[in-house]
């Protein structure tokens, strides 16, 4: 199986990830009393795979994961030092995902959506490694609240709606339809290649 790694996110991805939050500052022009509640959750996964084969000319690498499944990856030209990757090397990928939310009363002036991406890659001569971190924020409006089921329906700036489960029902106290939710979604991926273990 050949895999190309890409990236995208939207309100649905942000809200669906309400299992992972990281805090964000209140807008400078928002009165502190306007904030109703906030929260954060996060998660990190680390996966290790062994290099089974490298085709430098075609920029293809076959990796065998911890379950023995082999995946062939097309390595982008931006990845430096591919010729240094050898059979038996270990590829370690660490993925972190987090979402922060803050709820403000209706009528609070909020900043528009924003996002940023930071990348890093290996210097010439080093074993290949790379990292990318993305931060995106969006303001949604609470369209409906189902306290019995601990669910909230959010409407994004483009009119798209998503219903999310609230982990802690106490977070719904004081929250009303029409309130604004500032969501900040952060994810980071770090990949490094380590020499094959010595036998």
In sequence order, what DSSP letters do the residues of 94-111 get, joined into one string?
Answer: EEEEEEEEEEE-TT----
Residue 124 inside a domain? The answer is yes
**What's the whole-number mean pLDDT along residues 154-182?**
89
- H/E element holding 23? none
**Mean pLDDT, the chain, whole residue set:** 78
Range of the domain at 61: 2-194
Is 97 part of a structural domain of the chain? yes
The stretch 143-154 carries a mean pLDDT of: 93
Give the confidence band of 185 by pLDDT, cuts at 50, 70, 90. Answer: confident
The pLDDT score that the predictor gives to residue 26 is: 30
Count: domains in the chain:
1
Residue 98 resides in a domain: yes
Does 199 map to a domain? no
pLDDT score for 111:
67
Residue 147 lies in a domain: yes
**DSSP H or E run through 72:** strand 70-74
Residue 173 CA to residue 100 CA, distance in Å, equals 18
- The answer as to whether 132 is a domain residue is yes
Question: Is 16 a member of any domain?
Answer: yes
For residue 149, give the 3-state DSSP assignment.
Answer: coil
Per mean pLDDT, which of 76-80, 128-132, 134-138 is the most reliable?
A: 134-138
Q: How confident is the model at residue 21 (pLDDT cuts 50, 70, 90)?
A: very low
For the chain, give the number of residues: 199
pTM of the model: 0.57
pLDDT at 169 over 50: yes
Domain-located, residue 75? yes
């Amino acid at each position: 199986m050949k895999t190309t790694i890409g990236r995208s996110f939207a309100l649905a991805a942000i809200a669906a990830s309400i299992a992972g939050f990281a805090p964000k500052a209140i807008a400078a022009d928002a009165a502190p009393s306007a904030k109703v509640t906030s929260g954060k959750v996060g998660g990190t996964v680390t996966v290790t795979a062994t290099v089974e084969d490298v085709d430098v000319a075609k920029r293809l690498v076959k990796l065998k994961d911890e379950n023995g499944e082999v995946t062939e990856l097309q390595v982008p030209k931006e990845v430096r030092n591919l010729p240094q990757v050898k059979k038996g090397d270990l590829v370690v990928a660490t993925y972190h995902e987090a979402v922060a939310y803050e709820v403000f009363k209706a009528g609070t002036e909020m900043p528009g959506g924003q996002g940023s991406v930071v990348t890093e890659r290996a210097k010439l001569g080093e074993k290949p490694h790379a990292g990318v971190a993305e931060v995106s924020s969006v303001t949604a409006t609470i369209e409906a609240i189902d306290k019995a089921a601990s669910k909230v329906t959010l409407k994004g700036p483009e009119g798209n709606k998503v219903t999310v489960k609230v982990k802690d029902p106490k977070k719904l106290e004081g929250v009303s339809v029409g309130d604004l939710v500032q969501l900040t979604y952060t994810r980071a991926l770090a990949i490094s290649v380590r020499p094959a273990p010595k036998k």
